[in-house]
Amino acid sequence: MKNLHLRSTALLLFVLLFVSISASAQTALQEKLSKISAITETKPLESTKFSEKYVTYFTQPLDHRHPEKGSFRQRVIVAHAGFDRPTLIITEGYGAAYALRPGYFEELSEMLNTNIVFVEYRYFLESTPEPKDWQYLTAESSADDLHAVITAFKSIYPGKWIATGISKGGQTTLLYRTFYPDDVDISVPYVAPLCYGVEDGRHEPFLRKVSTAEDRKKIEDFQLEVLKRKATLLPRFEKYCTENNYKFRAPIEEIYDYCVLEYSFAFWQWCTPISNIPATSASDDDLLKHLLATAEPSYFTANSPEESFFVQAARELGYYGYDTRPFKKYLSIKSSKGYLHRLMLPKELKDMPFDKTLSKKITKFLKENDPKMIFIYGSNDPWTAAGVTWLKGKKNIHVFIQPDGCHLARINTLPEAEKAEVIELINKWLQE
């Protein structure tokens, strides 16, 4: 019995030692995270792509130049590949919810076997201050947030850093490089616009030239047909909006018209196949179904989940307008000018002026500097109209445009030769 007891005790000690060693190995990253004073909470996440993954909450000042004005919690997700690996900072332009998925990764993280530090944008989802004081939602503040995060995380990941983001996230990658040019080694913005105004003016001419004349005519014919059938389709459209509890800042007929105007932009943005467009002789049900699938009216709702984005678009990021001329005969609106302020902004900001300082600052930075940057665009994407495709003659800045590509253009969607060129460039820069 005594020997049995001794053996049991020895076995127990061995198990405890093993568990202790294992726990220590598993929590090496967690221990490092605990030393970052700005992180107030860390929770483990499941991942099928990374050895460890955590969601952390990072305390950020509302105004980095005046910390006394208050703070908020910013959600930052960390996915671990290795302390000796490069790190990808995701400059997300919106919320981080999708990055919580176990299977989440980015194409660059897979290509290069990188760590990921994913930063949720201020004023989105769990990174929204209370109260929601709009004065602190600025591009410069978002760049300051990223700078604070990367400064803290370089103590964990001392290797090369790549900043990347998609759409508004790509726009954030660009402005971050402008405000803090030395924070990262490489920037890869995807489908990133650089708009010059609330209604920039370059998107409408782009849509008049995109693809082929035949394709453009088919789109316009569809738009005209749903306007001609408005008397029949509008009650069904209103029923759909009511059933979904949509609330708008304009009469329902105007929202219908705006969905029709939005249709061509959304169509090209998301690579909708031309074959999806119903014939003008199609049934009312088929026409409305296609319109709703392409230009969802929730886009124009009051108090939209994307309200923070619209505030920024109106303040300094810019946006696009609509060409109403082909449809004037059938529209209930006299002009679409100012639609963003009227339909999508909170009441207290409806008269907010646009500040061109940011676009001028970014343009000046790109013209006068040559950081290691790779821009990815799609040739059919309306956002490409406001892209930095005008950048020429740079050694380090490269712009790649996917033929017939849309807002889903990525490195992996480029022609093979250009894809190989991008990967070769990035690997070369990582070795320097």
- First-to-final CA distance of the chain: 66
DSSP 8-state secondary structure symbol assigned to residue 317: I
In terms of residue numbers, what domain contains 396? 33-195+357-431
- The backbone torsions φ and ψ at residue 115, rounded to the nearest 5 degrees and listed phi first, read -75, 165
What CATH number is attached to the domain comprising 145? 3.40.50.1820
Instruction: Please indicate, yes or no, whether residues 300 and 393 belong to a single structural domain of this protein.
Output: no
| Angle of CA points 174, 179, 181, to nearest 5° | 80
H helices of 27-103, in order, are 28-34
Instruction: Please indicate, yes or no, whether residues 242 and 151 belong to a single structural domain of this protein.
Output: no
Instruction: Please indicate, yes or no, whether residues 208 and 311 belong to a single structural domain of this protein.
Output: yes
Residue 5: the pLDDT is 47
Instruction: Please indicate, yes or no, whether residues 369 and 245 belong to a single structural domain of this protein.
Output: no
Is 9 inside a domain boundary? no
Is 19 inside a domain boundary? no
Instruction: Please indicate, yes or no, whether residues 98 and 171 belong to a single structural domain of this protein.
Output: yes
Instruction: Please indicate, yes or no, whether residues 141 and 237 belong to a single structural domain of this protein.
Output: no
* Cα 101 to Cα 33, 79, 89, 116, 342, distances in angstroms: 21, 11, 17, 14, 36
Is 421 inside a domain boundary? yes
Instruction: Please indicate, yes or no, whether residues 174 and 71 belong to a single structural domain of this protein.
Output: yes
CB of 172 closer than 8 Å to CB of 148: no
Instruction: Please indicate, yes or no, whether residues 345 and 362 belong to a single structural domain of this protein.
Output: no
Region for 404 from its dihedrals, namely left if φ exceeds 0, alpha if ψ lies in -120 to 50, beta otherwise: left
Instruction: Please indicate, yes or no, whether residues 245 and 365 belong to a single structural domain of this protein.
Output: no
Residue 26: the pLDDT is 54
Is 26 inside a domain boundary? no
Instruction: Please indicate, yes or no, whether residues 268 and 388 belong to a single structural domain of this protein.
Output: no
Going residue by residue through the chain, which has 432 residues, state the pLDDT in tens, using 9 for 90 and above: 444 444 444 444 444 444 444 444 457 998 999 999 999 999 999 999 999 999 999 999 999 999 999 999 999 999 999 999 999 999 999 999 999 999 999 999 999 999 999 999 999 999 999 999 999 999 999 999 999 999 999 999 999 999 999 999 999 999 999 999 999 999 999 999 999 999 999 999 999 999 999 999 999 999 999 999 999 999 999 999 999 999 999 999 999 999 999 999 999 999 999 999 999 999 999 999 999 999 999 999 998 999 999 999 999 999 999 999 999 999 999 999 999 999 999 999 999 999 999 999 999 999 999 999 999 999 999 999 999 999 999 999 999 999 999 999 999 999 999 999 999 999 999 999
* Cα 312 to Cα 89, 122, 337, 345, distances in angstroms: 22, 11, 18, 10
Instruction: Please indicate, yes or no, whether residues 330 and 247 belong to a single structural domain of this protein.
Output: yes
Number of folded domains that form the chain: 2
**At which of 299, 328, 349 does a domain end?**
349
Is 323 inside a domain boundary? yes
Is 12 inside a domain boundary? no
Instruction: Please indicate, yes or no, whether residues 265 and 383 belong to a single structural domain of this protein.
Output: no
* Other residues' Cβ atoms within 10 Å of the Cβ of residue 348: 8
